[in-house]
Chain A
Amino acid sequence: MSTFTAPAGAVSNGAVAAKATDLTKVYGEGETKVVALDHVSVEFRQAEYTAIMGPSGSGKSTLMHCMAGLDTVSGGSARIGETELTGLGDKKLTQLRRDRVGFIFQTFNLLPTLNALENIRLPMDIAGRKPDPEWLDRVMATVGLGGRLKHRPAQLSGGQQQRVAVARALASRPDIIFGDEPTGNLDSRAGAEVLGFLRNSVRELGQTVVMVTHDPVAAGYADRVVFLADGRVVDDMPNPTAESVLEHMKRYDAKGRTS
C-alpha cells in the first residue's frame, strides 16, 4: 500500500477533518445479512480533495452516508473533526449536518420553489443564521452564476443547477463537503466545470471535499483516491490522474477476474 503523503500544491495542514475507525455497517440479519462496510479505517484531511471509488456494491456510498451522519453505523467509529457521530440522536445529527457538513447530490436536489440564491442560502435559513456576506461573495464568484441568481432551477441547465448545489454546499462554510456522484447527471463539459469548482474550492477557499464517483476522469481532479471493494479499503492513491486511475481500475478488474 502506498504511503500517505500530502499532495503537491495542496494547502492541507494535515489536520483531520473526518475519520473512520473500524467502521462497520451491516444490513439485514441471518440469511439476508449483507456487510456493506467491513472494518473500514480512513482519514480525510482538511483542505484535501478526496475521491472514493469502487465497483457497485463496494460500499463507497454507504461509507459516505455513514461519515456524513445520514446513516447509522453498526460498529466502529465515525468522526467529523473531534465529534463522534455514533450514538448521536437524530436531533444532534441533523444539527451537525446543518452546521458542519455540506452535500452535493447526483440529482442536484434543488427546491424548485426557490430561486438560485434562495437555494444557496437555504442551509443558513434553516439554521436561522445570517450568511457571511464576504464569504458568500467569494463562493458566488467561484461558481460564477452571474446574472442567474434570481432564476428558478427549472430555468437553469443541469450544469448550472449543479453549480448552485455546489454553492449551497459551500455557503455555510462547512467542515467537510460530501459529494455523491456529483457529475453523474451531467454531460462531460458541464461535469468538468463542476469538478473544477470543487477543486478550486479546495485550493482557493481551503474547503475539504469527499466525493464518491465511478468516473476516472472525475477522480483525476482529486488530490487522492481511496479505492473500496467488498466493504474494505483496498488502495489509496495520491495525486491521481485520469489515466493512472483508469490503469488502477483495469488492474483491479483483471485481478478480480483471475482470482
Chain B
Amino acid sequence: MLKTALRNVLAHKARLLMTTLAVLLGVAFVSGTLVFTATLSEAFQRSSEKGLTHVDLAVQPDDDTDAAETGPGDADDLGQDLLDATAALPGVASATGEVSGFAALADKDGDLVGAGWDTRGANYYAGTDGTGTDARHPLTEGRAPRAAGEIALDSATAERTGYRIGDTARVSVDGPVREETVTGIFTTEDGTVAAGGSLVLFDTATAQELFTAPGEYSRITLQAADGATQQDLKDAVAPLLPEDAEAITGQQLAADQAEEIEQQTSGMRTALLAFAGISLFVGVFIIANTFTMLVAQRTRELALLRAVGASRRQVTRSVLIEALVVGTVAGVTGFAAGIGIAAGLRSLMDAFDVTIPEGPLIVDGTAVLASLIVGIVVTVLAAYLPARRAAKIPPVAAMSSIHAAPTARRMVVRTTIGAVVALGGGALVVAGIGSGDKGATMGLGAALLVIGVFILTPLLSRPVIAAAAPLLRLFGVSGKLARRNAVRNPRRTAATASALMIGLTLITGITVIADSMAKSIDKMATESLRSDYVVSMANFSPLSPEVEETLAARPEVTDITGLSMSPALIADDSDERYLTGVNGAAIGELTNLDFEAGSFEGLSGENAVVDTDTAEDLGLGLGDTFPVRYEDGTAGSLTVSGLYEGNEMIRGVILDDAALDPHMERVTDFQVMLRTADGASEEARSALEAALGDNPAVLVQDKEDVSEDIAFMFTLLLNMLYALLAMAVIVAVLGVINTLAMSVFERRQEIGMLRAIGLQRRGTKRMVRLESVVIALFGGVLGVGLGVFFGWAVGEMLRDYLTTYELVLPWGRMAVFLGLAALVGVLAALWPARRAARMNMLEAIKTE
C-alpha cells in the first residue's frame, strides 16, 4: 500500500501542489514567527547585557513598595550623599550617578530626530570632582559637556544628523527650546542607541535640573573592585538604602531585563502565531477539500483495490500516507521559507529605519520541530475524514461510475444540526454582550456560530448563488453554466467558500470594531473639549510650567489651563490615585462635561470636583470633605464641589493648581489646553508655535489634529492586521485555484463537448472565471455578514467601557472587501480557465 500511496502522490503532484503550498504558507508563517521573535529577543538581550557591563549593583527607586506605608509618589532622594557613601564602601571600585529622561533633538532642518520616545537624555558623569571620565560613554571626539549649554551626542546620531563638534543643536526636554553647543561625540552600549534611538548627554548638574532635582540621581550604579562579588556589594549597600529604594545586582538586572524582553517578544510571538493559526485553519479546509476530490476522482481505483482484497484500514492508510508525504514536504519547505521570511523581515525593518540591535538569526530546535509537526499534523488531520470516506467506497463501485449522493435524510439531519448550532451560537453571542464575563460567553458563541455556518454553507450555497442569477444572466450561456456548476457540488463549493469566509469575517469584524472605536474615541476626545488647542510633548512626556506661562502671556489666548498630575492617597482608600491640577478659573470654559451636581464654579482652595465613578468608589457626595495625603507626604483635606460624568480623557479628582502645586515634587503639566479669541486657525497655530520657539518636540493640536491622530493610529493598527490576515486570504485563493483546477479536470469531457458544439475559448474561460467569482463572492458575502455581526456584538460589549461607543458600518470598506472577493475569484481562475480553454477537444470527448 505504501508504494501505491507514493505513486499516487507522484501521479497527482500537480493537483497536490496547491495543497502543499497552502500548508507550506502556514508553516512558513509559524517558523518565520518563531525564528524572527527568537532573533529579536536574542538581539535585545545581548544589547541589554552589553549595556550592563559597567553595572555590578544598581540602587534605584523601588516601584513595588506599598504606597499606603511609604506615602504616595517616588522614592526618597538618591542624593549626592548616598552616592558618596556608596563610593566609599569597601569593594566598590567606582560609583556612578545616573540621571536620565526624555530629550527631543531637532536635526539641522528643525525636524525631530527619531520617533519621539527613542530620543533620550542623560548625564555625563565625570566623578565627584567633575574631572573623571564616564566609562559608559567613551568619547571619540571632542570633550565631555561641562556646563549648561553644552552637550555630547552618540556617534550614530551625530552621523545621521550631520552634527559636528562646535555645531549648535536644538534640544527640548519639557517644552522650552534649548540651544546647545555640541562639544563631544561618544560611543555607547546603551540599549536605546542600539535600538536606533539617540542619546544626548548633558553635564550632571544640568541633567539633574532637567530630569530630577538638583543633587538628585535617578539611579546609582556601582562597579565592584577585584575580588568583591556583586552580592558583597549588595550586602554592603543594604544599611545605607533609603526606605523605598532597592539595590539590585547586575546579574539580577540582566535577568530582569531578559525576562522583560522575553515577555515582550512572547506577546508578539503569540499574536503572530495566532495569525499563523488562522492561515493554517484556512489551509485545513483546502487540504480536506483536495483529498475529498482526489478520493472522488479515484473512486473506481480505490474500489478496485478493495475488490482485489485491500481492507478498509489499508485504503484509509494509503490516503493518510499521501497526506503524510504532502505534510512532510510542506513542513520542510515551509520551514526553509520561514527562515527566509524572518531574514526578510529583519531587512524590511532596517529599510523602515527600525533598528534592531546586531545579532545572528536564531534558528532553534523549537522552530524546526514546530514546523514539521504543524505541517504533518495539520495535513494528516485534515485528510482524515476524506480517508475514512475512501474506505467506505464499496468494491462494487469499481464496476459502475455512479457515486452515491448524500441522501435527503442526511441533508435534513445536516440542516437541523447546522441550524441548531448556528442559532445557539448566535444566541450565546448576543447573551455574551451583557454578561460581563469579558467575552468568554461571546467567544464560545462565536465559535459555535462559525461552526454552524460551516455546516450550513453547502445548503446556503443554492439560495445565495441563485440570488446572483440575474447578474450572471448578463453573461449568457457562460453565466448560466457557471451558476449551475457552482452549485453542482455544494460541499466542494462550501469548503472553498468557507476558506475565504474565515479571512473576510475577521477582516470585516476588526474593521467594524476599529472604525466604531475610532469614531467613539474621537467623539469623546472632541466633544468633551471646548478648547481650541491642546499643547503637549510629542511623546506625551511632561511639559514645563514655562509653556503655560509663555502661552498665557499671548494676547489672543483667552482661557488657558495646564493639566498636572500628582499621585495621592485619597480618603481611606489604600490604592494610589491621581489628583489632576487645573486652572480652576478657566477649566469650565475649556471642557464640556456633564455635571450631576455642582460645577467647576468655585474650583479653588480646598475644593475639588470628582467624577461619579470615583465618588461612588469612595462613597463621596456633594459637599463631603475627605482627607488627602499628597505626594510630598503632607496631609490635607478637600471638599467635593461638583460631581461630573467622567470619560477616557478626563476623570478622577480635579482641583485647582494653587492647591496642588505646592505639594508636587516637580511641577509639570502633561498637557495645556487653551482657547483663543478668534478660534482655531492657521495663523493662531503659527503664532502659538512661534511663541514656543517652533519646537518640533511640542505638538500644538486643534480638535481636527486630535481626530486625525486617533484616526491615524487606528488606520495603522488596521493596516497591520490586514497585512497579517492577508496570508489567510492568500491561502484561500490557493484553495479556489485548486478547486477550479480539479473541477476543470473532472469536467474535461463536458468542456470538450461544449467546445465541439461551438463554445468559443473565450466563452469557456468566462464560464470557469464566473464560477470562480460566484464561489468567491459566496464566501465574501458570508464573511462580511458574519464579520458585521461579530463587530456589532463586540462593540455592544465595549459600550460598557466606552460610553460614547457608536456602531459605524464601513459601507465603502465592505464594498471593497466584496470587490476583493470578486478579484480573488478572477485571479484564482486565471490558470484553471486557461487550462479549460486550451484543452484538447478530441482527447476530452474520447470515450474512456
A residues lining the B interface (CB < 8 Å): 65, 68, 70-71, 90-91, 94-95, 97-99, 101-103, 105-107, 109, 111-114, 122-123, 125-128, 168, 184-185
Contact = CB atoms under 8 A, between A and B. Distances in A.
Q: Nearest 6 A-B pairs (CB), nearest first?
A: A98-B758, A113-B484, A109-B753, A125-B477, A97-B758, A94-B760
Give chain B's interface secondary structure class: helix
B757 A97 contact: yes
B488 interface: yes
A95 B810 CA distance: 47
A103 B760 contact: no
Nearest to A62: B842
A98 B753 CA distance: 11
Contacts of B488: 112-113
Contacts of A71: 842
Interface centre among B488, B757, B759, by most A CB within 10 Å?
A: B757
Nearest to A184: B847
B485 A113 contact: yes
B340 to A, nearest CB: 42
B845 A109 contact: yes
A10 to B, nearest CB: 27
A91 to B, nearest CB: 6
A114 B487 CA distance: 12
Nearest to A181: B847
A66 to B, nearest CB: 10
A19 to B, nearest CB: 21
B761 interface: yes
B476 A114 contact: no
B126 interface: no
B484 A91 contact: no
Nearest to A124: B477
B481 interface: yes
Contacts of A112: 488, 750
Contact of A97 (B477, B756, B761, B842): B756
A105 B760 contact: no
Interface string B739-767: 00000000001101111111111010000
Contacts, number: 73
27 contacts: A70-B756, A70-B841, A90-B761, A94-B758, A94-B759, A94-B761, A95-B758, A95-B760, A98-B758, A99-B758, A101-B758, A105-B753, A106-B847, A107-B749, A109-B752, A111-B481, A111-B750, A111-B753, A112-B488, A113-B488, A122-B757, A125-B476, A125-B477, A126-B477, A126-B759, A128-B476, A185-B847
Nearest to A110: B753
A139 B693 CA distance: 94
B210 to A, nearest CB: 79
A91 B760 contact: yes
Given A109-B750, A113-B484, A113-B488, A126 B842 contact: no
A107 B755 contact: no
Given A111-B750, A114-B484, A126 B757 contact: yes
Interface size grouping (class) on chain B: 20 to 34
Contacts of B758: 94-95, 97-99, 101, 123, 126-127
B761 A70 contact: no
B163 to A, nearest CB: 70
Nearest to A105: B845
A80 B589 CA distance: 93
Contact of A125 (B480, B749, B760, B842): B480
Interface string B830-848: 0000000000011001010
B27 to A, nearest CB: 38
A12 B239 CA distance: 125
A223 B695 CA distance: 102
Contacts of B753: 103, 105, 109, 111
A33 to B, nearest CB: 19
B179 to A, nearest CB: 78
A259 B848 CA distance: 34
Nearest to B762: A91
Contacts of A68: 756
Contacts of B485: 113
Given A70-B841, A126-B477, 14 more contacts: A65-B842, A70-B842, A94-B760, A102-B757, A105-B845, A111-B481, A111-B484, A111-B750, A113-B484, A113-B485, A114-B484, A122-B757, A125-B476, A126-B758
Interface in B754-791: 754-761, 763
A123 B755 CA distance: 10
Given A70-B841, A113-B484, A125-B480, A107 B756 contact: no
Contacts of B477: 122, 125-126, 128
A127 B761 CA distance: 13
A68 B845 CA distance: 14
A65 B841 CA distance: 10
Contacts of A91: 760-761
Contacts of B480: 125
A34 to B, nearest CB: 15
A102 to B, nearest CB: 8
A107 B847 contact: yes
A125 B757 CA distance: 11
A98 B757 contact: yes
B406 to A, nearest CB: 15
